[in-house]
Structure 1
Amino acid sequence: MTPDELRNACLAFAGAGEEFPFDEANSVFKVRGKIFAISRLSGVPLRVSLKCDPELAVQLRSTFPAITPGYHLNKRHWNTVVLDGSVPEHLVREMIEDSYDLVVAGLPKREQVKLHWVGLSRGE
């Protein structure tokens, strides 16, 4: 996954936007003001931090060495993924979607309706 593909994957969701609250090098992807992905798109190797269900986070970390506890984030709820090709791209895309869904699930119902969100894609 290239930096442009990562950016496009994060921005593909309703209401998603890219901001730079920390510095101009770190892209922060938000929905309704809440973070669901963080990446230094110019980083080598490319990495992305994503929100994750705590039980799934542990499973993913034990399966893929490129998935580690979130860097400078709550280690229980965030994973950092090194996009070096060792994690299948479809799984990275699912993780981005899951992160978005977890954030939107925590928004008020009226905000979910505005986003035309139909619920968690897996497990609801």
Structure 2
Amino acid sequence: MSMEIIKNYLSSKPEAKIEHPFGDEVMVFKVKNKMFATLSIGKMGKGDGEAQDWWVNLKCDPDEALALRDIFDAVIPGYHMNKRLWNTVILNGSIPQGELERMMDNSYMLVVNNMPTKDREAIELQL
């Protein structure tokens, strides 16, 4: 999936907003002021002249986070995040679109499910 497809998919979630608190190069996706994803150019190999892949940080259940890292080489512990609760997915084309969408949906819903009942129910009506 391309960066544009990922950006559009994440921003299409109910009440999702994009912010840039870490500078223009990092898109932070929030729902009700709670972060559920980031999207940026990968940092490994920066400046060596090679093409760089986009990276998306996604919240994840701790057990599933470990399993995904075992299954996919392009899933690593969350870059600059709590490595127990976040994965970084390197968008190099090695993960099927359906699996990426499932990971993004899970990240969004983990955040929504931890919201106060009023906020959670308002969002659930839009799903």
- Work out whether the TM-score is over 0.5: yes
Q: C-alpha distance in 2, partners of 1:91/1:12?
A: 17
Q: C-alpha distance in 1, partners of 2:126/2:83?
A: 28
Say what the alpha-carbon RMSD is for the aligned residues. Answer: 1.8
Gaps spanning 5+ residues in structure 1: where?
120-124
How far did residue 72 of structure 1 move?
A: 0.7
Structure 1: 4+ residue segments shifted above 3 A = none
Give the TM-score of the pair, scaled to structure 1.
0.90
1:48 aligned counterpart, secondary structure: strand
Give the TM-score of the pair, scaled to structure 2.
0.88
Deviation digits for residues 68-90 of structure 1, max 9, x if unmatched? 00001000000000011111111
* Rg larger in structure: 2
Structure 1 residue aligned with 2:82: 74
Q: C-alpha distance in 2, partners of 1:19/1:3?
A: 16
- Following superposition of structure 1 onto structure 2, how do residues 25-40 of structure 1 map, counting pairs within 5 Å? 25-40=25-40
Deviation digits for residues 44-99 of structure 1, max 9, x if unmatched? 20110000000000000001111000001000000000011111111111100000
Q: Residue 23 and residue 105 in structure 1: after superposition, are their counterparts in 2 closer, same or farther (change >3 A)?
A: same
Gaps spanning 5+ residues in structure 2: where?
44-51
Q: C-alpha distance in 1, partners of 2:11/2:87?
A: 19
Structure 2 residue aligned with 1:53: 61
- How many equivalent residue pairs? 119
Give identity over the alignment, percent. 39
Q: C-alpha distance in 1, partners of 2:73/2:106?
A: 20
Q: Residue 117 and residue 52 in structure 1: after superposition, are their counterparts in 2 closer, same or farther (change >3 A)?
A: farther
2:56 and 2:90 in contact (8 A); partners too? yes
